[in-house]
Amino acid sequence: MEEYEIRVISKPDPNLQSAFDRGQHVAWAVPAGTDALLYASASSIRFLPTSARTLLEPVEAIGFLTWIHFAGRHYGTIVCLCPVDMASVVVGLLGRLPGLSHAPAIETDDLSREATRLADVLWPLVGTEYTALEEFRLLISELRQKCPWDRQQTHVSLLDTLLEESYEVALAIQRGSADNLEEELGDLLLQVFIQSEIAREEGGFDICDVVRTVDEKLTFRHPHVFGSVSAASSDQVLENWQKLKAQEGRKRHFVDSAKLLSSIENALLSQETARFDGFDFESADQAYGKLLEESRELGQELNAASRDEHALAMELGDVLFSALNVARLSGVNPVKALHHSFDKFRNRYDRVRAYAAQQEVDIATASPEELDRLWQLAKNA
């Protein structure tokens, strides 16, 4: 176990101010309601429960010990300011640490003995897989409080980074690089944690809620594992999966958009690589001319007497690739542009479905004229 200095005090120590004045990193554990001036310069804060008995509850205790381990690793010095009865519990929980260099004389009592027994059970778990995610959450929380860049981030401002990290994970898998995959998965996990931390700060969900939600979803969608449904093949699993998603109210209309965005990023990367080598259009107008050319070829393939599906796919791909060139050379972010169009279509289509329901129109059997009428209603709404 890492060594770090821990001081347990029952009243403020003026000598500690000199450590702050020297810019030393010091983490503080204090009872809730303590005068904020006492720890205004603290590197990290942990609020202790008001009752010593509460600190002996296993969940509270493991949370405190995990913070001790986190703060010790990152800041080196920890000060626990607490009344005498709480100090006996704190010393009992921390008594076996080599870094507990300053502690008041505590008489052994039932609380301290119980704390020592609890520490013997819990400390072997700290720093292992049982507390690793909580320590990482503490790290993200600290960054949100102390780092100016991290503090100003929002769900939206991090969107591009989230997509970028997802693509880099995919590339690491494609390259078959285990070391690179480990690093990229960590970068992606950071995005999951910081998005969850932002939500927690806003009074919404936290990372534990994220884990519980996906746990419940996976349990529900695997009745062949956790229930009585039988599925002998992957095809049967996928068929059941889609039915269960429909029960949850999740449709397949837009679920492939993420795959499309990944392809866009890869296409743009190849275009930028060619540009770096000097192989590129001189202007967006030139790229637009190429787009028109590719569009005409696509039209010819669509109207061919005998359609070649492979050739059609190739021509359509050329049109999409050319459109990305126009966007890139025009200074337009194609991902954001597509998001805009995607959101616009989704909102209008939701209105189409609402109007159809109100007017008792079955979209699946409605005539093209009827569908166009509903679309114009939605468009003009």
pLDDT digits (tens, 9 = 90+) for 38-91: 677 788 999 999 899 999 999 999 999 999 999 999 998 898 988 888 888 998
In the chain, where are the structural domains located? Answer: 5-129, 133-247, 257-331, 344-380
User: How does residue 172 score in pLDDT terms, banded at 50, 70 and 90?
Assistant: confident
Query: Nearest-CA neighbor of 330 among 293, 369, 288, 296?
Result: 288
- DSSP output for 19-53: HHHTT--EEEEEETT--GGGGTT-SEEEEEPS-HH
Average pLDDT over residues 146-163: 91
The residues that bridge with 7 in the sheet, in sequence order, are 79, 102
The chain-wide mean pLDDT, for the chain, equals 87
Q: How far apart are CA 89 and CA 50, in angstroms?
A: 12
CA angle 243, 244, 245 (to 5 degrees): 90
The residues that bridge with 37 in the sheet, in sequence order, are none
The type of residue at 228 is S
Sequence-distant (≥ 6) Cβ neighbours of residue 177 within 8 angstroms: none
Q: What three-state secondary structure class fits 340?
A: helix
Query: Nearest-CA neighbor of 79 among 68, 95, 66?
Result: 68
Average pLDDT over residues 352-369: 93
Helix (H) or strand (E) holding 45: strand 44-48
Q: Give the fold, CATH level 3, of 257-331.
A: Helix Hairpins (1.10.287)
Average pLDDT over residues 222-247: 84
In CATH terms, are 5-129 and 257-331 the same topology? Answer: no
Half-sphere exposure of 361 (CA within 13 A, CB side): 19
Residue 255's pLDDT is: 45
Q: Give the fold, CATH level 3, of 133-247.
A: Helix Hairpins (1.10.287)
Residue-wise pLDDT for 95-112, tens only, equals: 878 777 666 666 778 888
Cβ atoms of residues 115 and 62 within 8 Å:
no
Q: What share of the chain is helix, strand, coil (3-state, %, to 5)?
A: 65, 5, 30
Pick the more confident residue, 109 or 21. 109
Residue 246's pLDDT is: 75
Q: How far apart are CA 31 and CA 81, in angstroms?
A: 7
Length, in residues, of the chain: 381
Residue 337's pLDDT is: 87
Largest CA-CA distance found in the chain, in angstroms, rounded:
96
pTM of the model: 0.67
Q: Dihedral, CA atoms, 154, 204, 165, 127, nearest 10 degrees?
A: 120
Cβ atoms of residues 158 and 194 within 8 Å:
yes
CATH number for domain 5-129, candidates 3.30.390, 1.10.1240, 3.90.190, 3.40.50: 3.90.190
The type of residue at 52 is A
Between 95-109, 177-191, 261-275, the lowest mean confidence (pLDDT) is in 95-109
CA distances from 163 to 57, 149, 159, 177, 222 (A): 41, 19, 6, 20, 28
* Percent of the chain topping pLDDT 90: 53
